[in-house]
Chains A and B, each alone.
Chain A
Amino acid sequence: MMYLIGENLNIMSVTYGKALKEKNAKPLQQLAIQQAEAGMDWIDLNIGPSGKIGEELMAWLVPVVHEVVDLPLALDTSNIKAIAAGLKAHKKCRPLINSIMVRPERMEALLPLAKEYDADFVALLWGPEGMPRDENERGALCSELVYKAESEFGIAPDRMYVDPIQTPVSVQQGQIMSCLEFMKMLQDIAPGCRSTIGLSNVSNGPPDHLRPILNQVMLIILKRHGLYSAIVDCFDKKLHDIAKDKHPELEAVVHKVEDGEAIDESKLSKEELDYVKTAKVILGHKLFSESWLEV
């Protein structure tokens, strides 16, 4: 069973981005209700960097959303003042800071806030030199952040949601393997820490109608590697059902691909066959192309 963070309230969205800029509460509250009904465990509030207005925007948005739902909110911005304002305004359950990167200036500014508000936070494995190149660099970044949070700030491991960074299958398939290798090590490196990931990035690039199956199969694979939660499309019901253990048959067929077991494709349903093909491109058994389901 995995926990889910709804990603759809996002400044990049045409509809909700406009509502955020105009401070039009209605569509944002409708979306929040939809996310709660869809079974999300958090609602992500992605306001982008938002510059000078970030602080005021987050301080407005948190109570607006909490007026209609009781879920904890993920404060998703690189704007430190906006995070602080969001934490202050967050009166229901425990907020989630999304995210703290493994960069000195980010850690120095945000870890004290996490401690002060007893907040959860996403420990994003993004270092001073950007994206880690492999599982070992992920491991090094993870240790650095977790150690600092625990030893200097006394933050408990279960407050930390380590994000090993999802890359698109269409451009960086090799990085998906590093991410999975890192997940195997996570509990040794950072015992008791939780984890999360921006799942939809796996399908960044391919056309919209092909994105759900990539997200779904990626989730199955990550789930098996112990991922605790994921930031996901709140409208993908199938994906939520997979997260909540309702499709063991699809999980089984993906696991077979991962384990290199022989699969009699003639005995599979169309859906299972599509899952097999998708697992093969995600795991690098086959090279990805946008027609991967047709070949």
Chain B
Amino acid sequence: MAFQPSKQVYSGQIREVTLGVGDKAVVIGGKAAYPFHSFEGSIPHPPKVAMEIWDKDPTEDWCAAAKEPFKDVLADPAAWAKKCVSEFGAEILVVQTKSADPNADNRPADQVAETVKKIVEAVDVPVVVWGVANHEKDTEVMRAVAEKCTGKRLALSPVEDGDYKQIGAACLGYQHIVVSSSPIDVNLAKQLNILLGNLGVNSKDIVIDPTTGGLGYGLEYSYSVMERIVQAALTQEDEKLQQPIIANVGNEVWKSKEANLSAEDAPQLGDPTQRAILMECITAVDLLLAGADVVTLRHPESVKRIKGFIQKMM
């Protein structure tokens, strides 16, 4: 008898969510099989690689390896955004609104939103706006961003249990996508999507952020919860979890101690640039295998490698 490989039976499908508008709008999700299991079911849209930029000059915060590729544009978010798209092939742009952080610069919401607007106008790829996970400040910033960029179908993140009503309403009112964010817990991820549904947010406008832990900092937990979400969505017909997933990889990896140690500080850890890029790539590959539909990266070399990985896997 010929060998019969076992075949996973699927009963559900991830919804398609369209980010952005116009020719460069990007559709994510849609898969009806486990990540890269195209031999078992349809995967209409390969996972996408997003690049992150900050809305403020990160010179003080970033290590040399992270700054090097962007050294001419770090002080100009719009130019930085353009460079990511035209030179490094970013398919989606993530703006981290670090300047809004109440524990640091605490820039007023309307100024933050003005910068975001300039970035959105500078590029034609979809934009995700990632806040600082402070409910009050994110609510102010996201409301202002939503209004200034009406109809652009930005994705606003993170939308959490504590601010989903405010930010969710802003997304509803100004036609944006909600990034539903929960603390590495499949039950809470489901619950937040139910609450967003009760608020009136269409399931075509929800992306899940299950919270990303970088390599050595909880990656395995993020992996497990993503895997669990995808299993529930595809094999348990859990329609509240049939949403695409985004993983904010670069931001998590590059803030770790190991990604920032210089060759002098840690000679035993090898070349600092390669080390950080590898940490970013390993985190991204793992989360893609777990089910992420978008990974957000910082370094252009990581972008190149992860795009190559996805291409080979599809």
A247-295 interface (Cβ within 8 A of B): 285-291, 294-295
In this assembly, does B194 line the interface, its C-beta being within 8 Å of a C-beta of chain A? yes
Contact with B along A155-174 (1 / 0, CB 8 A): 00000000000000011000
In this assembly, does B238 line the interface, its C-beta being within 8 Å of a C-beta of chain A? yes
Query: In the complex, what distance in Å separates the CA atom of A171 from the CA atom of B191?
Result: 13
In this assembly, does B232 line the interface, its C-beta being within 8 Å of a C-beta of chain A? yes
Which chain A residues border B195 with CB–CB below 8 Å? 291
User: Is there an interface contact between B187 and A171, defined as CB atoms closer than 8 Å?
Assistant: yes
Query: In the complex, what distance in Å separates the CA atom of A287 from the CA atom of B241?
Result: 10
Which chain B residues border A294 with CB–CB below 8 Å? 194
Which chain B residues border A285 with CB–CB below 8 Å? 236
User: Is there an interface contact between A170 and B240, defined as CB atoms closer than 8 Å?
Assistant: no
Q: How many residues of A contact B (CB 8 A)?
A: 11
Which chain B residues border A286 with CB–CB below 8 Å? 236, 238
B187-217 interface (Cβ within 8 A of A): 187-188, 190-191, 194-195, 198
- Shortest Cβ distance from residue B229 to the other chain A in the assembled complex, whole angstroms: 9
Which chain A residues border B188 with CB–CB below 8 Å? 289
Q: How many residues of B contact A (CB 8 A)?
A: 14
User: Is there an interface contact between A287 and B187, defined as CB atoms closer than 8 Å?
Assistant: yes
User: Is there an interface contact between B236 and A287, defined as CB atoms closer than 8 Å?
Assistant: yes
Which chain B residues border A289 with CB–CB below 8 Å? 187-188, 190-191, 194, 240
Which chain A residues border B198 with CB–CB below 8 Å? 291
In this assembly, does B186 line the interface, its C-beta being within 8 Å of a C-beta of chain A? yes
Q: Which residue of chain B lies nearest to A294 when distances are taken between CB atoms in the complex?
A: B194
User: Is there an interface contact between A291 and B236, defined as CB atoms closer than 8 Å?
Assistant: no
Q: Among B194, B198, B232, find the residue whose CB has the most chain A CB atoms closer than 10 A.
A: B194
A169-191 interface (Cβ within 8 A of B): 170-171
- Shortest Cβ distance from residue A265 to the other chain B in the assembled complex, whole angstroms: 16
User: Is there an interface contact between A287 and B194, defined as CB atoms closer than 8 Å?
Assistant: no
Query: In the complex, what distance in Å separates the CA atom of A285 from the CA atom of B235?
Result: 11
- Shortest Cβ distance from residue B219 to the other chain A in the assembled complex, whole angstroms: 20
Q: Which residue of chain A lies nearest to B193 when distances are taken between CB atoms in the complex?
A: A289
Which chain B residues border A171 with CB–CB below 8 Å? 185, 187
- Shortest Cβ distance from residue B268 to the other chain A in the assembled complex, whole angstroms: 33
Which chain B residues border A288 with CB–CB below 8 Å? 187, 190
**What is B's interface to A at a CB cutoff of 8 Å?**
185-188, 190-191, 194-195, 198, 232, 236, 238, 240-241
- 7 CB contacts below 8 A, A to B, read A171-B185, A286-B236, A287-B187, A287-B190, A287-B232, A288-B190, A291-B198
**What is A's interface to B at a CB cutoff of 8 Å?**
170-171, 285-291, 294-295
